[in-house]
Structures are given as C-alpha cells and as structure tokens.
C-alpha cells in the first residue's frame, strides 16, 4: 500500500488514515506533498488524486481519495487490528463521531488550523466556542459510556479522527474546563497525544 499525504505539520486529514495504517501494522510507503505552494502543490497532488486533495491510499489498482473511506477500507482489510469495536452500538456511535468531525466543526477548523508547532492562546469566536463545547460533550459522553481510555474503549478510527483536534486544543491553548469539561476530555486529549502512532507522526512532522 502507498499513502499520499500533505505536509505532516499541517495536514490533519492526512494524519487520520496514517495513524490507522500505523495502528493496523500495515506495511506501507508514503509520499509527502508540500502543501501551500500554489500551482506546484496542485500539480503534485494531481499526479495521484482524482479529487485534487490528499490523503489518497493506493492498493494495487485501487485509489481511495478520502480520509474516512481510507480508514473504513483499512478496518475491513485488517480486521485483526480492530480499528472499529466489535459491539455494533459502540461502532455506530464511533461512526457518528467520525462523521461529525469529517463534515463539521468548520469554525474550529478555520480559526485554529492544525499547525503542530504553534503555541499561542487564541481568542476564540462564539462559533468556535460552540464547537469546543460540542466536542467536550461528545468526548465526555462516549468516554463515560465505554469507560475509556479511548472514545470507544480501545483505540479506534474515532480516535484517529479527533487526534488533530487534540493538537489544536494544545496549540491554541484551549481551556476545556471553560467549555464544560470536568476533566475527562482534557485527560483524553492528552492521551491522544501520547499514543506511539501520534508521537511517530509528530516526530516526522517536526524533524
Ligand atoms: N474530505 C477530504 C478532505 C481532504 C482535504 O481537505 N485535504 C487538503 C489537505 S489537509 C488538501 O488536499 N488540500 C489541497 C491543497 O492544499 O492544495 C478527506 O477527508 O480526505
């Protein structure tokens, strides 16, 4: 398998399936395309991606051009890695959580773009605060239901989807206690940033 990703310190969509690939223990090669270089970036991505975006996973003649679709493919290709839990209810909730991230939280994404080297305290808009409160509630609810340590118990694709959010909360000094957290969400965010898969990504991103 080969995954085509964008600049590791910025590309949150690339991080998610990369973490899942690592977790699955799948042998893979990768191509990292430099983002934010205008036409050069567009031309480099166009060599691999029909949508003009990364990430893209290639497996033989199969080209999958969306982060969530790639993660689902990995879950089916490597069932022993248990990228989704066996319990159908938890799995459905995990899919809902991943889908909510995949299609939402625009204010947070726009105001606090992923940048692994940023450390500042951002002045958040009301819309972003609303996103943060929703994420705190979503995380807290799933952690209470599954008993943790990850959203669905064991690490899953849902955690891959929220790991970039944890980097944003750290990078932009977002105080989760001020957004309804009683401690579980902040501890979970920290846990996401301590997985071997995330630490490997961060090491390569900041090298
Ligand atoms: N829905 C897509 C979104 C992918 C996306 O927005 N990728 C960005 C990089 S993180 C991209 O390729 N941008 C093109 C560019 O920067 O030229 C997915 O989940 O894979």
Q: Taking the domains of the chain in order of start, what are their residue ranges?
A: 2-81, 88-198
- How far from each other are the two terminal CA atoms of the chain, in whole angstroms? 24
How far is residue 54 CA from its own chain's centroid? 13
Mutate to test the pocket of ligand 1, among 4, 5, 6, 38 (most ligand atoms within 8 A of CB): 6
pLDDT of residue 155: 98
pTM: 0.98
Cβ(81)–Cβ(73) under 8 Å? no
pLDDT of residue 110: 97
pLDDT of residue 191: 98
Query: Per-block average pLDDT, block size 10, for the chain (207 residues)?
Result: 98 98 96 98 98 98 98 98 98 98 98 98 97 98 98 98 98 98 98 98 98
CA of 53 to the centre of ligand 1 (A): 4
88-198 matches 2-81 in CATH topology:
no
Cβ(124)–Cβ(132) under 8 Å? yes
Q: Which protein residues touch ligand 1 with a CB less than 6 Å away? A: 6, 11-14, 35, 41-42, 45, 53-55, 66-68, 102
For the structural domain made of 2-81, what CATH number should be given? Answer: 3.40.30.10
Q: What topology does CATH give the domain 88-198?
A: Glutathione S-transferase Yfyf (Class Pi); Chain A, domain 2 (1.20.1050)
Mutate to test the pocket of ligand 1, among 13, 67, 71 (most ligand atoms within 8 A of CB): 13
Cβ(56)–Cβ(63) under 8 Å? yes
CA of 35 to the centre of ligand 1 (A): 10
Record the tokens describing residue 154, joined without a space.
Answer: 């064991």
pLDDT of residue 123: 96
pLDDT of residue 170: 98
């Amino acid at each position: 398998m080969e995954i085509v990703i964008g600049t590791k310190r910025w590309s949150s969509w690339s991080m998610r399936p990369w973490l899942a690939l690592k977790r699955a223990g799948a042998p893979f090669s990768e191509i990292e395309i430099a983002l934010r270089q205008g036409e050069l970036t567009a031309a480099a991505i166009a060599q691999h991606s029909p949508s003009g975006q990364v990430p893209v996973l290639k497996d033989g003649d199969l080209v999958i051009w969306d982060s969530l679709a790639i993660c689902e493919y990995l879950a089916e290709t490597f069932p022993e890695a248990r990228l989704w839990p066996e319990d159908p209810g938890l799995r459905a909730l995990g899919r809902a959580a991943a889908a909510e991230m995949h299609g939402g939280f625009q204010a947070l994404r726009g105001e606090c773009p992923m940048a692994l080297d940023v450390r500042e305290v951002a002045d958040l808009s009301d819309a972003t605060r609303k996103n943060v409160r929703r994420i705190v509630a979503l995380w807290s609810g799933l952690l209470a239901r599954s008993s943790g340590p990850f959203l669905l118990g064991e690490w899953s694709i849902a955690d891959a989807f929220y790991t970039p959010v944890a980097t944003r909360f750290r990078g932009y000094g977002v105080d989760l206690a001020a957004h309804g957290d009683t401690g579980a969400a902040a501890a979970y965010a920290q846990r996401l940033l301590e997985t071997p898969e995330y630490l490997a990504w961060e090491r390569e991103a900041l090298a």
